[in-house]
Structure 1
Amino acid sequence: MLPSLNSIISRLHLKQLRLLIALADHGSLLKAAQQVALTQPGASKALHEIETTFGMALFNRTNRGLEPNQIGHCVIRYARLIHTDLAHLREEIGGIMRGHGGRVTVGVIMGAVPLLADAVTRLVAEHPEMSVEIVEDTSATLLSQLDAGRLDLAICRTTISPTPEHYGSVQLQEETLAVIANVRHPLRQAATLTLQDLAESRWVVYRANMPMRLLLEREFRDADIRFPQHLLETTSVFATLALLQANPSFVALVSVDVASFFARHDMMCILPLTLASRSEPYEMVVRKGAPLSPGARLLIDALTPAPPP
């Protein structure tokens, strides 16, 4: 039977988590014991205590050593997360003691990456010892990580959530969209384009039910053009760029900030297609009622435009 959370918390020790990580890294009880400064009998006893805590075996004993089973892989993954969180805790405390924010973890959707990059550049210029972790993903995933306490704040959209009232949010800026393509795209020299001109193109898009995808579907619907059936779906900036570089006929819908970055560095061209619809604005989002770390406050200050004089 699966033990209760209280039972796991009361019986599991941090040094046991270190042993689990060492066992995963080495597959040898002797080498793991040496890494965490235990004798081999002491490590064997500790492993037995860990498996007793969870009420099940975490490793298969083979002639090659110890190999994590499915549950063992799960427990080891969380042991690594806890170890990383403690390292971040120490780093943040050190930063506070030295008089600056220490560390901040921020999530961002693809279109807002240039906006965040500018803010982070300003932040580290003023606080050079600040550490910043940036997680790029969809709004849904970022809000989930915000709920779990894995992020200090996120730049995304709360409208995709069934419970947007659970978040504190401030609108940062409107999002304008652009269609980009390889610099060798056949229509790159056109003076102007309509959606019909690109109706047969292979589009790189976000997956269904995401705001940017819904906007593109609405554009096709309003133009009375059938939405393309064979799509390339990704939420990755790099995957989008790689696909467009691989095939000059592909096109993609991205924020104008991302498009301008690519075009400025001659990586892509912006096709002369004007979209009638506008996307929802970016929001700076935190968990309502959750305390903010000093690092999060500093990043929020860097993201928030100064009021006009």
Structure 2
Amino acid sequence: MTPTLNSIISRLHVKQLRLLIALGEHGSLLGAARQLALTQPGASKALHEIETTFGTPLFVRTNRGLEPNAVGRCVIRYARLIHTDLAHLREEIVGIMRGYGGRVSVGVIMGAVPLLTDAITAVSADQPEMSVEIVEDTSATLLSLIDAGRLDLAICRTSVSQTPYLYDSVFVQNETLAVISNTAHPLARRRRLPLKDLAGYRWVVYRANMPMRLLLEREFQDAGLRFPTHLLETTSAFATLSLLQKNVSLVALVSIDVARFCTEHGVACTLPLQLSSKSEPYELVTRRDAPLSPGARMLMEAIVERGGK
């Protein structure tokens, strides 16, 4: 019988999480015991207590040592997550006691990466000891991470959520889109470029039902063109740029900020294509009424300030 959550919380100790992590690393009671300065009988007793707490064996005893079974691998994975969260907790407490924000976890969609990095650079200049975790993904994924408490804030869009009322959001800036390519693309030197001239090329795009993808589909539909097939789908700015570098015939739809960054650093060029559709604006999103650390508030102010420029 699977134990209740209250049962696990009341019986599981942090030092037991350390034992689970050590067992996952060493695959033996002896190795784990040495790492944690325990006797082997003490480690064996602690493991028995852990397995009793979860109501099931976590390891298979073999002549090579201990091998985690499916449940064991699951428990070890969460033990590592909890251990990491506790390390982040300590880091943030130290930061608050020293008068700075400690640690901030922020999510961002691909198009807003340059905006976020500008804001982080400004905040880091004032608070050089503040740690920042950056997660780049789709709006839907970032909102789920906010729900789970894994992110303090995100630059994304609440329109993709069926429950936008769960979030506090602030307008950051409108998004203008551009099409980029390798600087050696066959159409890179054109002065004007209609969409039909790009219809035969392979595109790097967001996956289906994402705002940028829907906008591009609408552009093709309004132009009476068939939407390209054999797409390369990614939510990563780096993957997009890497693909463009490897294949001179590819084109990609990105935000104007990403396009400017690429052009300024010579890693891609912006094609002279005028898009008629307007993209949805960026929002700065937090969990509704969630408490925010001083560092998170500082970063939010920097984002809004740079978004208004």
Say yes or no: TM over 0.5: yes
Question: 2:88 aligns to what SS in structure 1?
Answer: helix
Query: Residues of 2 paired with 1:141 and 1:176: CA distance?
Result: 22
Moved segments of 4+, more than 6 Å: none
Question: 2:280 aligns to what SS in structure 1?
Answer: strand
Look up the match of 1:32: 32
Query: Residues of 2 paired with 1:154 and 1:82: CA distance?
Result: 22
Q: What is the TM-score normalised by the length of structure 1?
A: 0.97
Letter in 2 for 1:59: F
**1:6 paired to 2:6:** yes
Query: Residues of 1 paired with 2:64 and 2:268: CA distance?
Result: 51
Structure 1 residues 126-137: aligned runs within 5 Å = 126-137=126-137
Query: Residues of 2 paired with 1:34 and 1:13: CA distance?
Result: 19
Look up the match of 1:225: 225
Structure 1 residues 275-286: aligned runs within 5 Å = 275-286=275-286
Query: Residues of 2 paired with 1:81 and 1:2: CA distance?
Result: 21
Look up the match of 2:20: 20
Letter in 2 for 1:271: L
Look up the match of 1:60: 60
Q: Unmatched 5+ residue regions in structure 2? A: none
Look up the match of 2:108: 108
Letter in 2 for 1:250: L
Residues 139-182 of structure 1, C-alpha deviations (whole Å, 9 max, x = no match): 00000000000011011000000010110000101110010111
Deviates more, 1:34-43 or 1:145-154: 34-43
Letter in 1 for 2:275: L
Look up the match of 2:256: 256
Letter in 2 for 1:278: K
Whether the aligned pair in 1 keeps the contact of 2:119 and 2:306 (CA below 8 Å) is no
**1:95 paired to 2:95:** yes
Letter in 1 for 2:111: G
Report the CA distance shift for 1:36/1:279 in structure 2 as closer, same or farther (over 3 A): same
Letter in 2 for 1:246: K
Letter in 2 for 1:184: A
Q: Unmatched 5+ residue regions in structure 1? A: none
Query: Residues of 1 paired with 2:254 and 2:60: CA distance?
Result: 48
Letter in 1 for 2:285: V
Query: Residues of 2 paired with 1:168 and 1:209: CA distance?
Result: 23
Question: 1:248 aligns to what SS in structure 2?
Answer: coil
Query: Residues of 2 paired with 1:126 and 1:103: CA distance?
Result: 14
Question: 1:280 aligns to what SS in structure 2?
Answer: coil
Deviation at 1:304, TM superposition (A): 2.1
Look up the match of 1:299: 299
Structure 1 residues 41-52: aligned runs within 5 Å = 41-52=41-52
Query: Residues of 1 paired with 2:153 and 2:4: CA distance?
Result: 31
Look up the match of 1:160: 160
Letter in 2 for 1:33: A
Letter in 1 for 2:300: I
Whether the aligned pair in 1 keeps the contact of 2:173 and 2:307 (CA below 8 Å) is no
Residues 82-134 of structure 1, C-alpha deviations (whole Å, 9 max, x = no match): 10111111011111111111111101111100000000000010111111111
Deviation at 1:307, TM superposition (A): 12
Deviation at 1:306, TM superposition (A): 8.2
Deviation at 1:282, TM superposition (A): 0.6
Report the CA distance shift for 1:140/1:57 in structure 2 as closer, same or farther (over 3 A): same
Question: 1:241 aligns to what SS in structure 2?
Answer: helix
Percent of pairs with identical residues: 74
Deviation at 1:226, TM superposition (A): 0.7
Letter in 2 for 1:304: V
Letter in 1 for 2:79: A
Deviation at 1:17, TM superposition (A): 0.3
Letter in 2 for 1:154: A
Query: Residues of 1 paired with 2:267 and 2:69: CA distance?
Result: 45
Whether the aligned pair in 1 keeps the contact of 2:115 and 2:306 (CA below 8 Å) is no
Query: Residues of 2 paired with 1:58 and 1:274: CA distance?
Result: 59
Residues 259-285 of structure 1, C-alpha deviations (whole Å, 9 max, x = no match): 111111110011110100111111000
Question: 1:304 aligns to what SS in structure 2?
Answer: helix
Query: Residues of 1 paired with 2:144 and 2:237: CA distance?
Result: 21
Question: 1:273 aligns to what SS in structure 2?
Answer: coil
Structure 1 residues 63-212: aligned runs within 5 Å = 63-212=63-212
Query: Residues of 2 paired with 1:201 and 1:62: CA distance?
Result: 56
Whether the aligned pair in 1 keeps the contact of 2:115 and 2:307 (CA below 8 Å) is no
Query: Residues of 2 paired with 1:62 and 1:113: CA distance?
Result: 49
Query: Residues of 1 paired with 2:286 and 2:207: CA distance?
Result: 25
